[in-house]
Structures are given as structure tokens and as C-alpha cells.
Amino acid sequence: MERAARTGLLRPAVAGALLLALLAAPRLAESQEASAPISHAMELAQSGNLRGAIEILEAFCAGGDAPSAAFGALGALHVEDGRPEKALEILLPLTQTEELDPAVLYNAGRAFEALGRFTDAVGFYRTSISVDGFSPALRALGMLLGRLERSGESYELLTTWLEANSNDYAARIAAAAGAVDLELADEAESLIQGLPPDAPAIRLLQGRIDLLRNDPWGALGKLQPLADQPPPALELDLRRSLADAWLQVGDPEAAIEQIELIPPGDPSDTVQLANAYSQSGRIRKAVETLAPLAEPLIGSAPPTDPGTLALGVLIDYGRYLQAAGDSRRALSFLQLAAEIGPDFPEAFKTLADVLEANGRSNEAATARARHETLTTTTPPGPTRFDIAADADDQVSRAIREAVELAFSGETYKALERLDQQLDQAPGDPRPAYVKSSILLQGGNAEEALAAADRALEIAPGHADGLYQRGVVLLALQRIAEAEALFRSALEAAPEHPAALADYAALLMSSGRSDEAADLLTRLVERRPNDSRLLAMLGRSLLDARRVKEAEAPLRRAASLDPRNAVILLDLASALWEANRPDEAERQAREATALIPQAPAGHRLLGALLLWRGDYLEAAASLEKAIANGSEDAAVHLELARAWEGGAGGTGDPGEEQTRLERAEAAYRRAGELEPEHAGAAYGLAQVLRKLGRHDEASAQMDRYRELYERDQRETREQGLGPSAPDDRRQLDPLER
């Protein structure tokens, strides 16, 4: 098989027992007498007899003359046997030697990972890779960071994968779902082109794309035919999407009908139902619906770090109470929202409205001033061109008129107006680069390039002109030329906000996140309340593995845009990487509450719960991720491990059997999705052994050995690691 075609297929780490061959092989040649116990232990481990292998090596190591390879192998077996603390007792002293052994470092990383100490695990994996660029730590680190799914479904990674694997149906679905989560409607549509249009999962995605494009009627046309007999795995997302569509077309009663078909329990559904009642004019019903979530908040101590869902509940409940005529109670909830969400603009806006309605104008003015401080200190995004809004010269007025015409859909008139100015003011470059911008937004990149060239002919070296030409070249995929122009624009105007932002985005997309972070830091200093820029900065710092620095901008972005699930998931990832799983879990749960149909949050939450050892809840979360379109071998392996972990200690043989069978099904599905996945073969063998099906387990172990030996042959023949991807960026979901 071509290596490029396998890139990413073998990401999960090969099971530890057979990796003992990699660990001990360099030293076995030194002494056949020393190698015999290690080889015997390896054979036992490969057959599934871990305890027997451990007993052999423990006896050998107790003799006093065993080589370090034997101790390393013993530590690896303890990791495999689920005793990471014991493994570290053996392995950590070996990591302090002058000559570092990449295999020992790798197995120490595995032990720390099993204990949930992810920062330590990452450190040991990276050190192992630095000693041996083809260490199996490559796989382990890729697997660990893959579980983090840095912004849920990492859209950029999936699209990179699809460049070489366009027939991967599951990856295309997952990438399209990620694109929808990121509100990239065109990209999502492109990804599902050619897939069966009548497949329910595809129709659901098409409907969600229509909602992104503000076409609720189109969404209803695609989704409503599924509503009578919805596929069970898609029903919740279908009902929620239909409710959104009905609310957008102004039919809250139809939305209520859909939401009431959803089983109770999800707070976000309760919030949406209350909203639908409010829109239908049934204010008392809205109050009644939201009361179970809102009332307990007012009677308890204010939380020091409230979730965004709680803030939203307080604000909505206050609005409903005000509309129902209960102003005093409304103010209590809104004042609490402002108290616990001091950086939450919506809290102050709603509070100001209610205070004003109650005749408390001075207090309303104070609340309104706070809202304005949070939302209007800076523009919502970088100003593209230096055209003052209050400039009164003829060219500026004409440009503003042209922009207004373009926004209203009269592009031809806008371009005509700009052409008139180019004739009347031939020495002013501004009409030319604004014309270029309008043409580019209309999809006419070649004409946009000609207009940008004209702007530079008029004013060579002008920052706006250089920037605009760079934007056009970027759209034409002439990346190197675009980068050179962004650099030139910043040389001409070092604080040009749009050039800083777009150049940073280019750097992030090419894996140069450290450079991007430096640019974004400069920009955020000027625009400290721009949630989009703060989120980009946090993302770039995560990509650059500057995790401690990433937390602050991500927290600030979340406070400014508290309903942005992508930001919350990035924050959760940063917290998890910083070894703060409790906070990470809270943020991940908040994200899934905001967008319960998005698989990214469920997948990240499932991974967190799996490492915590909450196996059954992890399985439930991972099954939601799969049901929502996040299906690949990796997620099925995690699901299998969750069910396998949940089978232990049940005390009920029947229940244990059921969970092991579910683990078997998940391992088999992982193998179907990636037939040459060694981890799937190994896991299936272990579960079959626990189910007492030893012949089948033996066959799977034979398959595992076959895959392992093939990898080793390719390693020797090509000088490659067993699953070393062509593009190192695919190892790390941080690299976008």
C-alpha cells in the first residue's frame, strides 16, 4: 500500500505488548542469554498472557544482572496490564539516565496518560520523539491530541485528510458537520456533493446548511419529510433543526410541536421551548417552562464562574417576567445576571431596558453605558480600508454610496459609481481597491486582481493596495505571493489591522501558529473586546503549544461571546492540556448544551470522561458523537474502550456480557472503517478473549501480528515509522 494512502489510518497507538519488540530489539543482540527471558515474555504477552509475561520479567529483573531493556519491557507490560503507577516506579528511574531511551520515554508517557496526567504524558512523548523521530510516541501523541479535538471536529485536519482520501464517506460527513458548526456553508455543501442526497444524515446536513444561509423554508423542505419516521440516531438533531426553522419562519406553534417530541432533560431544549412560547405570545407558559432552571439560581450563593447557559437562563427569565408584568422579580434575575456576568453585554442591555421601563432612568443609563463599553469600544472587526466614516470629500462620499449599493445587492451600480470616481479622481487609489474588494466578494477574482493592480499603479507601496492585492491572490490560492504582499503592507503600515488579521490567518493555516500568535497579540492590544480576534489568538497559541498563554484570551473571548460553542471547546481543550480536567469538563458540557447536535462537544466530553474512568457516561457521549456524524475508527475505538472499561466490576454476569458485546461491536466497526488498523485488531482480540471465544481471539492476534510485522518491514525498507504520516501536521489536531 502507498504510504500516502495510509496517512492517518494507523494513528491510534499499536498495543503495547507488541511494541516491546521495538523497545528491546536494539539491545537483544548484546546477549542471547539476556534476550531469552525478554523474548519469552514477549511471546506470552502477544498471546494475551500479560500476567505470565510480567512474572517472567519480574523474576529476571530480581536477579540483579538484567539489562535495562528488561526493566523497560516490564514497565511497558505494567502499563498494558492497567497498572500505570507500578509502571512509573520502574520507568521513571530509567528516564534519568544520561542516554535517553525513546521506548522508555514512550512507555512512561503511556503510564502518565493512563493516569490522566496529560501534560506529563505529552512531555514524555515529545521527548521520546526528539530522541527518535520515528518513536511509537508519534502514534501515542497523535492519538492523545486527537482525543482533544481542539475545536470539536478539527475542520482543517479533516479537509487535509480528504485531499488524499476523498472517498472516505465518514470523514466527509464529519468535515461537513464541522464546517456547519463553523458556519462555513459553502464548504459544507462542497463536502457533501456526490454523497447520496436522500440519505437522512445528508438531508439533515443540507437542512442545517440552509439554516446557515437564512433559508428556513429550504431547510423545512429537506427536513420535514423525515419528521414522521425519523431515524432514531438523528431524531433529536432533526427535531431541534426543525424547531429552529419554524421559529425563523415565524411559526412558533410548529416549533413547540417539534420540541415537545424531544425527551425532557436537556436544558437547551427547555430554553428553546420557553423562547417558542414567548414568540407565540404565551408569556405565562414561557415563565412556567423556564422557572425550574431559573428559580434555583436566585436562591443560592452567586457562582464565581457561571456557565453561559445559566446567564442566558437568567436573562431570558427576566425578560419573560417583565413581559408578564412582574417587574420586581424580573429585576432580581437581571441584576444577578449582571453581577455574575460582568463581561456579558446582553445582561446589561436587558437590564437597562427593564430599568428604563420601570422609570429608573439613571440606573438604566449606567447599565447601558456598561453595555456600550463591552460592545462598542472597538469595531466588530478590522477596518479593511482607511476611509473615515465622517470624511466629507467627494471620493469618500462616492465610496460610501458604492458600498451601500453593493450591500443592497446593486453591484453593477456600485461598480459604475467607482469607475466614475476613477475617471474624475485618477490620482486617488481608494476607488480602485474598493472596486477590487466588491468584485472579489462577487466571485470575480481575476477582475478583482486587475482592479487591485490599478490601485497599486496609482499609489505604489500604499498599504491598503498591497493588502487588497494580497487578499485577491489568497483567493486565487497563490499563497506565497499573498504572504509577500501582506508582509509589504505591514512594512508600509505596521499596525494595519486587516493585514495583521488576514496574515495571521494565513500563517495559522500553514502551520506557523507561533508567528500568527505574535501578530494577533499586537492586534488584540488595539482591539481588546473583539471576541473573534481573541478566539483566533487563543487558537493560535494552542496550535503553537503555548497552552498557559492560550487560556486568558480564550476566557475573555468566551465572556464576550458566551454562546459560541467553538470558543468554549477550545477553552476546554486548553484547560485539559493544562491538567485541569474538572474545568475542562464543565466547559465541554456547556458547549454541548449550546449546540447539542454538534458531534465535536460530545466527542471531547466523551474523551474526558473516558480518561476519568466514567466509562458508561463516556460511552453515552461518544455514541451521541457518532449519531451526529462523527464516525471514524478513532471514535469507535474510544467507544469500545469505554464499554470494555464499563464491563469490569459490574457484579452482574449478564450486564458484563452485554457491555463486552457492545465493545466487540465497536472494535469491529473500527476495523470496518480502517481494515488495517492494528489497534482495532488488538482490542477486538482482548474482548473476544474476555468473552471466552479464544479461537476468534487467537485469529485476531494473528491478524495483529501480521499488521505489526508489515509495519516493521516498511520501516526497514523505507526508513519510516510504522504509521508516520507524510504531513507531520496530521499528528497534531492543534496544527490547523
Rounded mean pLDDT, 276-287: 84
pLDDT tens digits, one per residue of 625-684: 898 777 889 999 999 999 999 888 777 888 899 999 999 999 999 999 999 888 889 889
pLDDT tens digits, one per residue of 542-553: 888 888 888 888
Categorize the per-residue pLDDT at 388 as very low, low, confident or very high, splitting at 50, 70 and 90: very low
pLDDT at 407: 65
Least confident of 1-5, 224-228, 426-430: 1-5
Range of the domain at 209: 159-376
Hey, what's the torsion of the CAs at 710, 713, 717, 719, to 10 degrees? 90
pLDDT at 156: 59
pLDDT at 32: 46
Categorize the per-residue pLDDT at 80 as very low, low, confident or very high, splitting at 50, 70 and 90: confident
Between residues 76 and 727, which one has the greater pLDDT?
A: 76
pLDDT reading at 382 higher than 50: no
DSSP state of 729: G
For the record, the C-alpha cell of 659 comes out as 457491555
Closest CA to 302 of 357, 347, 362, 356: 347
Cα separations in angstroms, 571 against 64, 175, 530, 541, 548: 49, 21, 16, 11, 11
Is residue 292 one of the residues assigned to a domain? yes
Which of 421-425, 566-570, 678-682, 686-690 shows the highest mean pLDDT? 686-690
Categorize the per-residue pLDDT at 719 as very low, low, confident or very high, splitting at 50, 70 and 90: low
Is residue 212 one of the residues assigned to a domain? yes
pLDDT reading at 575 higher than 90: no
pLDDT at 299: 66
pLDDT reading at 492 higher than 60: yes
pLDDT at 725: 32
pLDDT reading at 722 higher than 70: no
Q: Same domain for 128 and 247?
A: no
Residue 28 CB burial class (10 angstroms; 0-12, 13-18, ≥19): middle
Hey, what's the torsion of the CAs at 418, 423, 424, 429, to 10 degrees? 60
Q: Which of 79, 114, 148 is the last residue of a domain?
A: 148
pLDDT reading at 228 higher than 70: yes
Q: Same domain for 351 and 214?
A: yes
pLDDT reading at 259 higher than 80: yes
pLDDT at 379: 34
Q: Which 3 state secondary structure label does DSSP give 455?
A: helix
Please state the φ and ψ torsions of residue 527, each to the nearest 5 degrees. -130, 70
Q: Same domain for 441 and 321?
A: no
Is residue 681 one of the residues assigned to a domain? yes
Q: Which amino acid is at 649?
A: G
DSSP string for 106-150: HHHHHHHHHTT-HHHHHHHHHHHHHH-TT-THHHHHHHHHHHH-T
Closest CA to 307 of 514, 586, 98, 87: 586
Least confident of 163-167, 189-193, 351-355, 485-489: 163-167
Q: Same domain for 647 and 619?
A: yes
Cβ neighbours around 250 below 10 Å, total: 10
Q: Same domain for 110 and 193?
A: no
Total domains in the fold of the chain: 4
Which of 338-342, 387-391, 468-472 shows the highest mean pLDDT? 468-472
Place of cell 539491545: 27
Rounded mean pLDDT, 82-91: 87
- Residue 668's CATH number: 1.25.40.10
pLDDT at 148: 41
Task: Please work out, in degrees rounded to the nearest 5, the angle formed at the alpha carbon of residue 134 by the alpha carbons of 121 and 578.
Answer: 20
d(CA 177, CA 234): 13
Categorize the per-residue pLDDT at 129 as very low, low, confident or very high, splitting at 50, 70 and 90: low
Cβ-based neighbours of 453, under 8 Å, separated by 6 or more = 469
pLDDT reading at 239 higher than 50: yes
Rounded mean pLDDT, 136-156: 46
Is residue 543 within 8 A of residue 569, CB to CB? The reply is: no
Rounded mean pLDDT, 310-314: 83
pLDDT at 90: 86
pLDDT reading at 321 higher than 70: yes
State percent of the chain over pLDDT 70.
81
Spell 685-714 as b/e; 16+ CB within 10 A means b: bbbbbbbeeeebbeebbebbeebbeebeeb
d(CA 203, CA 184): 17
pLDDT at 139: 47
Categorize the per-residue pLDDT at 6 as very low, low, confident or very high, splitting at 50, 70 and 90: very low
pLDDT at 170: 65
Between residues 285 and 25, which one has the greater pLDDT?
A: 285
Between residues 141 and 636, which one has the greater pLDDT?
A: 636
pLDDT at 443: 78
Categorize the per-residue pLDDT at 306 as very low, low, confident or very high, splitting at 50, 70 and 90: low
Closest CA to 151 of 474, 499, 508: 508
Q: Same domain for 56 and 182?
A: no
Least confident of 7-11, 333-337, 648-652, 698-702: 7-11
Q: Same domain for 702 and 637?
A: yes
Least confident of 19-23, 107-111, 334-338, 462-466: 19-23
* H and E: helices and strands count for the chain: 40, 0
Q: Same domain for 674 and 694?
A: yes
pLDDT reading at 380 higher than 50: no
pLDDT at 408: 67
Q: Same domain for 620 and 506?
A: no
Between residues 247 and 642, which one has the greater pLDDT?
A: 642
Which of 258-272, 358-372, 657-671 shows the highest mean pLDDT? 657-671
Q: Which of 98, 118, 148 is the last residue of a domain?
A: 148
d(CA 153, CA 601): 8
For the record, the C-alpha cell of 509 comes out as 493555516
Q: Which 3 state secondary structure label does DSSP give 249?
A: coil
pLDDT at 152: 40
pLDDT reading at 24 higher than 70: no
pLDDT reading at 377 higher than 50: no
Is residue 383 one of the residues assigned to a domain? no
Least confident of 393-397, 650-654, 693-697, 728-732: 728-732
Rounded mean pLDDT, 397-408: 76
Is residue 381 one of the residues assigned to a domain? no
pLDDT at 381: 32
Q: Same domain for 179 and 90?
A: no
Q: Same domain for 33 and 117?
A: yes
Which of 38-47, 166-175, 415-424 shows the highest mean pLDDT? 415-424
Is residue 153 one of the residues assigned to a domain? no
pLDDT reading at 300 higher than 70: no
Is residue 582 one of the residues assigned to a domain? no
pLDDT reading at 19 higher than 60: no
pLDDT at 667: 93
On average, the pLDDT of the chain sits at 78
Cβ-based neighbours of 652, under 8 Å, separated by 6 or more = none
Is residue 60 one of the residues assigned to a domain? yes
Between residues 700 and 308, which one has the greater pLDDT?
A: 700
Categorize the per-residue pLDDT at 400 as very low, low, confident or very high, splitting at 50, 70 and 90: confident
The pTM is what?
0.46
Rounded mean pLDDT, 561-580: 83
Each as own residue / partner, the long-range contacts of residues 161-165 (CB below 8 Å, 24 or more positions apart, any chain) are 161/7, 161/8, 161/730, 162/191, 164/4, 164/5, 164/7, 165/5, 165/8
Closest CA to 723 of 736, 706, 710: 710
Q: Which of 89, 116, 148 is the last residue of a domain?
A: 148
Q: Same domain for 364 and 258?
A: yes
pLDDT at 153: 42
Closest CA to 574 of 256, 179, 119, 204: 119
